[in-house]
Amino acid sequence: MNVEALAARVDVDIGALERLAHARDLWPRSTLRFAQDKLAESPAVVAWPKDEAELRFALDWAVVNQVPVVPWGAGSGVCGAAAGRKGALTLDLKRMNRVGAVDVATATVRVGPGVLGQHLEDELGRQGWATRHSPSSIACSTVGGWAASRSAGQFSSRYGKFEDMVVATRVVAPSRSFRTGLWATGEDLQPWVLGSEGALGIISELLVRVVPLPETRWLRGYRFPDIGTAWEAMRRLMQAELHPCVLRLYDAVDTRIGGRGKGVRKEGPGLLKTLTSTVDSGAGGGGGYLNMALALPRLLNGLAGWGGGECVLIAGWEGRKEVVDVLSHHGHALLLGARGDDLGKEPGEHWYEHRHDVSYKAAPLFAKGAFADTMEVAATWSRLPALDAAVRAALGKECFVMAHYSHAYREGCSIYFTFVGRGDEDRYDRAWTRALAAAASVGGTVAHHHGVGPHKMEAAARELAGIGPKFEALRRDLDPTGVLNPGRLFPPVDVPEPPAPKLGIDEDSLVATLDAQAPAADRDAVLARQGYSLRFPTSGALSRAVAAPHPAWESPVLGASVRVDGRRIVLLTVPRSSAGPDPRRAFPPEAYETLTVPLVRLSEAARVVHRLAADVRAARLLPEGPELRGPAASDLAALCEREAGLP
């Protein structure tokens, strides 16, 4: 390996410290191994390209020398995706961190892949704008990493996940450089690149959608008698076109441990700190209620389920004051009507204040022979209870488990489990293997926003069963000698061809699985008879609408069945996923057999307006004008008409 040739153009470091720093990301399994003095494989060299020309030079150098390449954002991934490997070149992209001026006309900004999230928001804030992408790891993750692993932020219910915010990218791959999205020339590979974790190319620049800095914010807490009632309230709120920016529900255990149920939050030491201070003493050592978590998880999970299931939901709106006033007024009424007790502003304000308090308290826990981890799954509303029960039961065999529900969509929601266990890698792996299988068995995605890495590679390959060959073909084209993150995404898995999905309406999730090629008149008549209409109406076959424009924060296709090379591929119906690329809209119209798409209920209030007032979102864009729906339709229509100068 001729490192001097690389060093002639690009800053490199072959020192042990830098290589060790890039040996692992924040996958808790690696931390567990590190705590047991099992060192991860370090890359051979770390390089910091400053621009696209240097990136191209480094990649060409890797191809000539047949050196595996690992792109590195900030290494905050929790699945091992950026972890080093023996003999590899790690390309740390943090020096490609240019933030352009906001293009006000299109509300977009050009950004380098290596800019850290907080730096981006700071710079945009100076210009009066924001992405509002706000992962808890905002201070230690990059824009390129967000795109490569389909990250989700705390305000995803209003603005979408990061893949919804990416308008275009430039990508440097071994065989060629190409552009995606709005910048694409020829086939648009954006659905494949986002979520590909550096396996198809290195994202060298992004065009990102931005929004004006919110003028005002409205946050409140609500107590619900049990989790089922709270889920129902969240579902109704998301389907009422009220566009909250935050809906964050804590299960009964998290509510109790976090002291959230009383309205005024008591500051306690927190779960990790308590566990860390008691773990030394062992199960019977007097560490109290939480100490047992590590040795007797089943008992503790059972005990935690006692004493009532009260749980707390935080709901919030932000944006232009007039619009927030209307939406929060109707949202507040809806939540009270759905059996929520008003806890006032404090729980919401407290959460907002501390929303980026990333916990580094877990390290001592690992040092003492325990582990803490998180698992984020998602499903449609109708499958959510089964997903919650299945994963909780699977993790609960080995670990103490609690959960919150923080990324809600019209069609479903994600579940974020936090779990703590005592033991080694075997126990850790057992817990994860069971939990991933449990999620898949009830139709949940195995990853909502943490991505895949070696950690979930096999589970993700099963979830996206059938797209492996298409992905491999793309990969061979873009990276013929296979240097990019080799072997990381989609190992071959043997999965029988699935049956065609059942056609019909899922009323809870407000979606329908329909024949993609059926004539429009038949399809629309069947839907109308049952009281529904398409959210994205089309006068032709549904398959033609797949490529139609849609609001950036919406997902117009939730699931699909496609024929590729004579074989059926069924893509899971789920609001969002980060189990690799999302090819649900990436096939030619004739390939689709069925599509699962969002609906609207004909029974709900609807108003068509001439023009939308600033910050008001339409439910549908109809030929006669933007349509507002739900309980706030009338008030919002009045606002739009007032601003348009209509009587």
Ligand X SMILES: Cc1cc2nc3c(=O)[nH]c(=O)nc-3n(C[C@H](O)[C@H](O)[C@H](O)COP(=O)(O)OP(=O)(O)OC[C@H]3O[C@@H](n4cnc5c(N)ncnc54)[C@H](O)[C@@H]3O)c2cc1C
Write out the residues near ligand X by the rule CB under 6 A.
Answer: 25-26, 70-78, 81-82, 93, 113, 135-137, 141-142, 144-146, 148-149, 151-152, 197-198, 202-203, 358, 449-451, 485
- Residue 419 Cβ vs ligand X, minimum distance, rounded to whole Å: 15
Which residue lies nearer to ligand X by CB, 179 or 523? Answer: 179
Alpha helices in 464-551 (DSSP H): 468-478, 520-529, 542-545
Cα 627 to chain center, whole Å?
28
DSSP three-state, residue 147: helix
- Residue 239 Cβ vs ligand X, minimum distance, rounded to whole Å: 24
d(CA 567, CA 172): 31
Which residue lies nearer to ligand X by CB, 78 or 439? Answer: 78
At 319, the amino acid letter reads G
Which residue lies nearer to ligand X by CB, 117 or 598? Answer: 117
- Residue 477 Cβ vs ligand X, minimum distance, rounded to whole Å: 17
- Residue 553 Cβ vs ligand X, minimum distance, rounded to whole Å: 16
Q: How many residues does the chain have?
A: 647
In the DSSP assignment, the letter for residue 484 is: B
d(CA 244, CA 36): 44
347, 312 contact by CB (below 8 A) = yes
- Residue 411 Cβ vs ligand X, minimum distance, rounded to whole Å: 19
- Residue 127 Cβ vs ligand X, minimum distance, rounded to whole Å: 23
Which residue lies nearer to ligand X by CB, 71 or 626? Answer: 71
Half-sphere exposure of 562 (CA within 13 A, CB side): 24
- Residue 27 Cβ vs ligand X, minimum distance, rounded to whole Å: 9
Which residue lies nearer to ligand X by CB, 90 or 274? Answer: 90
Which residue lies nearer to ligand X by CB, 169 or 596? Answer: 169
* 153: phi then psi, degrees, rounded to nearest 5: -110, 175
Which residue lies nearer to ligand X by CB, 407 or 620? Answer: 407
Which residue lies nearer to ligand X by CB, 171 or 546? Answer: 171
Which residue lies nearer to ligand X by CB, 152 or 323? Answer: 152
Cα 454 to chain center, whole Å?
18
- Residue 566 Cβ vs ligand X, minimum distance, rounded to whole Å: 32
Strand 89-92 and strand 108-111: the pairing is: unpaired
99, 123 contact by CB (below 8 A) = yes
- Residue 57 Cβ vs ligand X, minimum distance, rounded to whole Å: 16
Cross-strand partners of 66:
none
Which residue lies nearer to ligand X by CB, 248 or 523? Answer: 248
In the DSSP assignment, the letter for residue 277 is: H
- DSSP letter string over 544-610? HHTTS---TT--S-SEEEEEETTEEEEE---S---SS--GGG-S-GGGEEEEEEEEEETTS-EEE-S
- Residue 150 Cβ vs ligand X, minimum distance, rounded to whole Å: 8
Reduced 3-state DSSP string for 51-82 = CHHHHHHHHHHHHHHCCCEEEECCCCCCCCCC
How far from 196 is each of 135, 452, 579, CA to CA, in Å? 19, 9, 9
DSSP three-state, residue 42: coil
